[in-house]
Structure 1
Amino acid sequence: MSFLRNCWYVAGWADELIEGQLLPRTVLNEKIVLFRDSKGTLQALQDRCPHRFVPLHLGRLHNDRIQCAYHGLSFDCSGACVHNPHGNGAIPNAARVRVYPMQERHGFAWIWMGEPDRADPALITDFSAMDPQTAYIGKSYLHVKANYVLETDNILDLSHIEFLHGNSLGSAAVAQGVIEVEQHGEVVHSKRTTHNEQLTPDLERLRGIPSGQRVDRWLDVRWNAPSNLLLNSGYTPSGEPRENGRSVYVAHVFTPETAGTTHYWFGIAFPKELGEEGRRLAEENIQWLLQPFTTEDMPMLQAQQEVIGDQDFWALKPVLLVSDGGAVRARRLLEKMIQQEQNMTNTRHESPSLSMETALQRSENP
């Protein structure tokens, strides 16, 4: 499976990376070791010693260098081998590992999997609504045995919450909600609005809505390639304008581990102006969300993946519904971006070979 490479992926919550500790993680089928150096900067190296291919995360981090546990070669943050304890200490030219650009922003650790010189921090998806400097963030993680695009489909089409989450997130009004799909450049918005909706008792409690109060609800999802989604979920008493209601932001971030497995980081934000109440709500809400995500979404997506296997999604000829608009738009856009990236890469790789071929023809036909 092809992935979009020249973009920023989430490699974890930023506070997962602790100074002095090595964290192994697989992203886009590549094994990587993550750590925070002595200056607090995030670092990422290929998790494979070039000597005997032992994972570097099994080694020791000291003075911002990773010492391989097998034969003691040490690598610095540039990926270069800086110490060879054997013989006269000469370091082979090939003794280095790949380095991946990293950035820390809005509470996430971001990694660039493509060409390092194109790693522009300005391209990082805006998750300022989830910034721990301004909001209390309830955070969690799931490892899902399903393709990451199936995950984004799931969030871009929230009509499923009426049926899959009927006792928690859904209601009988969701599937009949008003749907709007917008695309602005390479950003897709999938918006769903319901009217005169009766929420579940749990949602009423967690959102501070009086029991039995009928509401109008909006579920506005923003998708940024390749798989970073931000949900603005809000409520207002039925018939009242949106500005009279309240909303919360929920991040759904999917990073492909492999073609069939996905890292899923999700979080919910409450403004720090709420004080300790905001902290409590963040923790209570994330613990509550973990239940439907783990026991309802995850088994469904994993069952879906088992049926699809390694078959092409479109080759299976899925029957499309009106609610699929946002998911289809995002899928098509992502496929286009991946194809464009591959075309550019192939063009750069083919140019030298074409030049050589031309030179050979000229030498044979002076």
Structure 2
Amino acid sequence: MSYLRNCWYMAAWSDELGEKGLSRTLLEQPVFLFRDEEGTPKALFDRCPHRFAPLSMGDVAQGVVTCRYHGLAFDGAGGCVRNPHGPVTRALAVTAFPVIEAHRALWIWMGDPALADPAALRDLSFLSQAPDTAFNKGYIAASGHYQLFIDNILDLSHTDYLHPDTLGGGSITRTRAKVEQREDGIIAIRWDSYDDVPPPLVRGKLPPGVERADSWTHVEWSAPGIMKLINGVVPAGSPREGSGTSTNVHIMTPETARTTHYFFASTRDYTVEDAQLNAAIGEIRNRIFSTEDEPMIAAQQARMGEADFWSLKPALLRIDEGAVAVRRRLEALIAAEHAA
């Protein structure tokens, strides 16, 4: 399967990386993530060049990974630093991937390492700037092609049917999305609903007795699978300024052609010191994504089987405009990368 490679993929949340490191398959390649003696994250192809044992089964000490099978040791750059059985040769080297740590997460570059520019990482600093009491996150090892999960966020009309008791309510279905393709590579989709029934999950933000609301959800996608969502709600006809908004991310990293690493997080700019509210928001989000979204997309993938999405000739609707735009953009980026 073809992937966009010269870009930053989220590999893990920072706190997932413990003392023993973390083994994770990314873009169908086994990768071992660990920290060196200074705490800097490193990433190696998770296979010893000698007899192909997983390096992740070995030991990490002082920034060196020692293969448990025959004792060869490798540093964070992939070089062999110890061969108990003879000289260190050029064949005893492991591919190392550029890694940076930012926005409470670890990001890996799976393409040409010479092109790995930290400045190319999308600015998600709102994640690290949020206090712990206004930040919650999650991770799902999900079944389904990563683009199916991207589609799911780019067409939020599904919330009215898959999540009617929490995120839905009908207002998004009754609102026509506006899709904008920006010069910075971001595709933005806006749902602005006026004087409609608010979704159940946000009714607590409205004054008692308010039954009609103006609500908005704006999604910004950037390659390969990073989506920033901003949403809010006010009583119908009220100004939005100062009303308090939630800013969220949904980040999809391919594991294989049919499985996805699904990372998500939520922040807010209101009642930021309310740890109890934060925990409740995190619990609800984790439950919704793991028990409603993921099973639906897993079932969708099962019905598709091994077939390519376009080969099945999907009967596209107006609500698919944003998702189709993103699929076409990603296809063009992959084709251009291959051509280069």
Distance in 2 separating the partners of 1:275 and 1:249? 13
- Three-state SS of the structure 2 residue aligned to 1:327 is helix
Equivalent position of 1:96 in the other structure: 93
Q: Please show how residues 302-317 of structure 1 align to structure 2 within 5 Å.
A: 302-317=298-313
- Three-state SS of the structure 1 residue aligned to 2:111 is coil
Q: Please show how residues 313-332 of structure 1 align to structure 2 within 5 Å.
A: 313-332=309-328
> Which of 337, 346, 349 is the matching residue for 2:333?
337
- Indicate the structure with greater helix content: 1
Q: Please show how residues 1-366 of structure 1 align to structure 2 within 5 Å.
A: 1-18=1-18, 20-86=19-85, 89-132=86-129, 136-185=134-183, 186-205=185-204, 207=205, 210=208, 212-271=210-269, 274-277=271-274, 279-344=275-340
1:108 CA drift (Å)? 1.3
Matched residue type, 1:48: R
- Three-state SS of the structure 2 residue aligned to 1:174 is coil
Contact 1:67–1:74 (CA under 8 A) maintained in structure 2:
yes
Contact 1:107–1:132 (CA under 8 A) maintained in structure 2:
no
Distance in 2 separating the partners of 1:275 and 1:180? 30
Aligned in 2, Cα 1:105/1:234: closer, same or farther, shift over 3 Å? same
- Three-state SS of the structure 2 residue aligned to 1:306 is helix
Query: What's the TM-score once normalised by structure 1's chain length?
Result: 0.89
1:198 CA drift (Å)? 2.4
Distance in 2 separating the partners of 1:298 and 1:263? 11
Contact 2:202–2:233 (CA under 8 A) maintained in structure 1:
no
- Give a deviation string over 1:174-215, Cα, whole Å, max 9, x none: 20113110011211001111222323544323x465354421
- Three-state SS of the structure 1 residue aligned to 2:256 is coil
Matched residue type, 2:217: L
Contact 1:237–1:245 (CA under 8 A) maintained in structure 2:
no
Equivalent position of 1:348 in the other structure: none
Distance in 1 separating the partners of 2:284 and 2:88? 53
1:43 CA drift (Å)? 0.6
1:274 CA drift (Å)? 4.1
Query: What's the TM-score once normalised by structure 2's chain length?
Result: 0.95
Matched residue type, 1:237: P
1:295 CA drift (Å)? 1.6
- Three-state SS of the structure 1 residue aligned to 2:95 is coil
Matched residue type, 1:36: R
- Give a deviation string over 1:73-108, Cα, whole Å, max 9, x none: 00011101110112xx31122001000101111111
Select between 235-244 and 121-130 the one with higher mean Cα deviation: 235-244
Equivalent position of 1:358 in the other structure: none
Percent of aligned positions that are identical: 42
Distance in 1 separating the partners of 2:255 and 2:273? 36
Contact 2:206–2:235 (CA under 8 A) maintained in structure 1:
no
1:173 CA drift (Å)? 2.2
1:275 CA drift (Å)? 5.0
- Three-state SS of the structure 1 residue aligned to 2:147 is helix
Matched residue type, 2:81: V
Aligned in 2, Cα 1:27/1:37: closer, same or farther, shift over 3 Å? same
Equivalent position of 1:356 in the other structure: none
Contact 1:236–1:244 (CA under 8 A) maintained in structure 2:
no
Matched residue type, 1:326: G
Contact 1:32–1:47 (CA under 8 A) maintained in structure 2:
yes
Select between 76-85 and 130-139 the one with higher mean Cα deviation: 130-139
Aligned in 2, Cα 1:79/1:319: closer, same or farther, shift over 3 Å? same
Distance in 2 separating the partners of 1:210 and 1:338? 51
RMSD: 1.6
Select between 279-288 and 9-18 the one with higher mean Cα deviation: 279-288
What is the aligned length? 338
Contact 1:270–1:282 (CA under 8 A) maintained in structure 2:
no
- Three-state SS of the structure 2 residue aligned to 1:131 is helix
Matched residue type, 1:298: E
